[in-house]
Structure 1
Amino acid sequence: MAKEKVVLAYSGGLDTTAIIPWLKETYGYDVICACIDVGQESELEGLDERAKYSGAEKLYIIDVVDELCDEYIMPTVQADAVYENKYLLGTSFARPIIAKKLVEVARKEGAVAICHGATGKGNDQLRFELSIKALAPDIKVIATWRQPEWTMQSREDEIAFCKAHGIDLPFDAKHSYSRDRNIWHISHEGLELENPANEPNYDDLLVLSVTPEKAPDEPEYIDLDFEKGYPVALNGKKMKTSDIIRELNKLGGKHGIGIIDIVENRVVGMKSRGVYETPGGTILTEAHKQLEELTLDRDTMEYKKLVGTKFAALVYEGKWFCTLRESLSAFVAKTEERVTGHVKMKLYKGNIIKAGTTSDYTLYSESLASFTTGDLYDHKDASGFINLFGLSMKVRAMMDQKREEKDNANNK
């Protein structure tokens, strides 16, 4: 009789390596590993051999980098969505596409369950499970760290478990930063970062970047071209979105751009402290905002601030596949129809400095903005506007004045 199958979200790290024999032993499943390539680069090396050595029946490695960039990252950038004014959502928008591909593998393999190794304290458990519920409500989800049968509580326990099952892998019990990497960013948690009173040890921590102090003493100019809110060229060279992000990561990392240290509010209620490196994403986000400044009217820009805040919360909370997020994206897509143009910036020691923005759809009129009177605007027109615009304030002050005079008369 054939065994039932489970699809494991596999990274090749110690946790997911230990989970393979645990799933086989605890539930009697055949384990199908699926590693979704969102831009981890060297972290993918040797995974096929490691998965099979650990007892997996099969390993899928699925490259989704372009889909991630075009259908998840850029819609988030276009929405001006930033969580708690700092976090550019690098881990958050990668989880739903990973979940989507896990579901596709589960359907292909006829699996009855999907397993992930996210902890019970973090946000990723919501992002994985809400996405799976939205896409495949019939498939069972196994969250190892929340299962009563999972008794391992440390790296030492996991290493001992692997060795007991004949799996001798190059992991040791020495703790290091907890990291998550994709094409957009890399996050760091743990060690000295667990105490907000500690300054990060940037010499050991940084992977994509240097600190501004170690950045070049000379600035560097870059040019970005956008069409309908999507980047299409860097320094005059046409590129797809993923390649632009990769190049911007190199440029931004070189100049110490996009390093943030944040204490954020997790969905589960606790605060956590982390350091994020998002060099290319920070540049791309700032360039997009600069172009919107030129091409969007005041009402749309103000409303987009509300949309961006809600959009960021939905993505952070794992609700990518909800109706509201999809509806907000439809609104955002409409706002992007004229976000086309050229942005020039200067990179210097952690700073992104405006160096000129142009667009065929600009709403900036030099003749209107100048101090000289033009055909479309007469300085005298402002008098009536100010009278009407401030009428409610004036009426309130007049009524307050009358009440004060009446009170003074009654007190004499």
Structure 2
Amino acid sequence: MTTVLAYAGGTAALARLARETDVVTVSVDLGAGDVDLTALRERALAAGAAEAIVVDARAEFANQHCLPALQANALLYDRYPLVGSLARPLIEKHVTAIARAHDAEVVWPREQGGKLSPDRTLWGRAVVVTDPDPWHGPGDVFAYTEDAAVNIDAPDEAVITFDRGVPVAVDGETVTVAEAVLRLGHRAGAHGVGRFDLAMDNREIYEAPGAWVLITAHQELENLTLDRDLARFKRSVDRRWTELVHDGLWSSPLREPLDAFVRHSQEHVCGDVRLVFHGGTAVVTGRRGEEPAGRGRHLHPVGRRYRPLTGQEHPDHPTHRAS
């Protein structure tokens, strides 16, 4: 019998399984950026795996998971970007496909924190909390961000260009979505941007500098380019999309219609946003973009102060009264 193990770098579960069955490990690379894939395969084989497969899903994750999250301004509780819940569906997709090809069952280990875990991707990282007391500082637990005081005397400025809601350039240099996340994450993270230390039911700590900067810039550009009614309705769609993905319902039949609406809303989200990274903050200092598509469409030619007719004010409406 063959077992497919979702493998993030730990060896305990692999060693136990290898004593009982042939194990095929599957590691899905989602762009954490600091993973030696050759060493990862060798470690899996040394621990008893019969075969060690590494799937390069970085572009797929960026374009099919991170980009929709960006365009939906996916901030959980309006506070921090999605991390693990955005990555797990893609990991499950690839691991399950390989299990089918091997006619094998899948084992999902309880071990967490490996460099290829869903909690560590190019979009962000969930930090293992060593001190649950929210009164205490988090300690030295960060990997994607520096302390805000480290580069306090050297602020950094970046200009992000969007085309239909897609980040296509940073400081005039063309980038892919993955490159935009990584470059901005590196630059903003050097100033402590994108750290989230949250005390809710449990203490949760995240760092997602690239995601935070892109969502901040994207929201600013939407404020400038979306029609008011469209923007108002889109905020409710954004919240529902975020809740759906956070709740593990990526495969819900509701997500695709929500995605379709969000994509359509991005037609005029084109322009540039300038930000300064300094002291743990990403401050928008400039924005320019297209005129909202619907601006002025309800205005009477005589001027903006004219009140447009509603249905009941129309002369042919049965309740209309002549003055």
Taking structure 2 as the reference length, what is the TM-score of the superposition?
A: 0.86
Matched, 1:234 2:170: yes
Identity of counterpart residues, as a percentage?
A: 30
Amino acid at match of 1:216: I
Aligned mate of 1:217, from 148, 153, 159: 153
Look up the match of 1:75: 68
Q: CA deviation at 1:259?
A: 0.8
Q: C-alpha distance in 1, partners of 2:199/2:3? A: 36
Q: C-alpha distance in 1, partners of 2:136/2:250? A: 34
Q: CA deviation at 1:362?
A: 4.0
Amino acid at match of 1:349: G
Aligned mate of 1:357, from 251, 263, 287: 287
Q: CA deviation at 1:363?
A: 5.8
Look up the match of 2:135: 197
Amino acid at match of 1:73: C
What pairs with 1:123-138 in structure 2 (closer than 5 Å)?
Answer: none
Look up the match of 1:409: none
Partner of 2:273: helix, strand, or coil? strand
Aligned mate of 2:7, from 10, 17, 26: 10
Q: C-alpha distance in 1, partners of 2:141/2:118? A: 10
Q: CA RMSD in A?
A: 2.7
Encode CA deviations 1:68-116: one digit per residue, 9 max, x unaligned. 01100110111122112222002211111111110121122222x1111
Aligned mate of 2:29, from 28, 34, 37: 37
Look up the match of 2:236: 306
Look up the match of 2:206: 276
Encode CA deviations 1:138-172: one digit per residue, 9 max, x unaligned. xxxxxxxxxxxxxxxxxxxxxxxxxxxxxxxxxxx
Matched, 1:208 2:118: no
Q: C-alpha distance in 1, partners of 2:50/2:57? A: 22
Distance of aligned partners of 1:298 and 1:61 in 2 relative to their CA distance in 1, 3 Å threshold: same
Check whether the contact 2:144–2:186 (CA below 8 A) recurs between aligned residues: yes
Matched, 1:252 2:188: yes
What pairs with 1:10-409 in structure 2 (closer than 5 Å)?
Answer: 10-13=7-10, 17-25=11-19, 28-45=20-37, 46-111=39-104, 113-118=105-110, 180-192=119-131, 194-201=132-139, 204-264=140-200, 271-362=201-292, 377=303, 379=305, 381=306
Amino acid at match of 1:196: P
Check whether the contact 1:294–1:364 (CA below 8 A) recurs between aligned residues: no
Partner of 2:80: helix, strand, or coil? coil
Partner of 1:308: helix, strand, or coil? helix
Amino acid at match of 1:352: A
Partner of 1:337: helix, strand, or coil? coil
5+ residue gaps, structure 2, are 314-323
Q: CA deviation at 1:179?
A: 9.7
Partner of 2:169: helix, strand, or coil? strand
- Structure exhibiting the larger radius of gyration computed from Cα positions: 1
Amino acid at match of 2:74: A
Aligned residues: 304
Say which is worse superposed, 355-364 or 319-328, in terms of deviation: 355-364
Q: CA deviation at 1:378?
A: 5.0
Q: CA deviation at 1:220?
A: 2.3
Check whether the contact 2:99–2:106 (CA below 8 A) recurs between aligned residues: yes
Check whether the contact 2:83–2:118 (CA below 8 A) recurs between aligned residues: no
Check whether the contact 1:294–1:363 (CA below 8 A) recurs between aligned residues: no
Q: CA deviation at 1:360?
A: 3.0
Encode CA deviations 1:351-389: one digit per residue, 9 max, x unaligned. 222222122344698xx9xxxxx976355x47x99xx9x
Encode CA deviations 1:4-38: one digit per residue, 9 max, x unaligned. 2111000112xxx121232244xx43110000001
Check whether the contact 1:86–1:262 (CA below 8 A) recurs between aligned residues: no
Q: C-alpha distance in 2, partners of 1:222/1:360? A: 20
Q: CA deviation at 1:181?
A: 1.6
Look up the match of 2:318: none
Amino acid at match of 1:186: R
Check whether the contact 1:189–1:273 (CA below 8 A) recurs between aligned residues: no
Distance of aligned partners of 1:44 and 1:76 in 2 relative to their CA distance in 1, 3 Å threshold: same
Q: C-alpha distance in 2, partners of 1:74/1:315? A: 14
Look up the match of 1:142: none
Amino acid at match of 1:200: P
Taking structure 1 as the reference length, what is the TM-score of the superposition?
A: 0.68
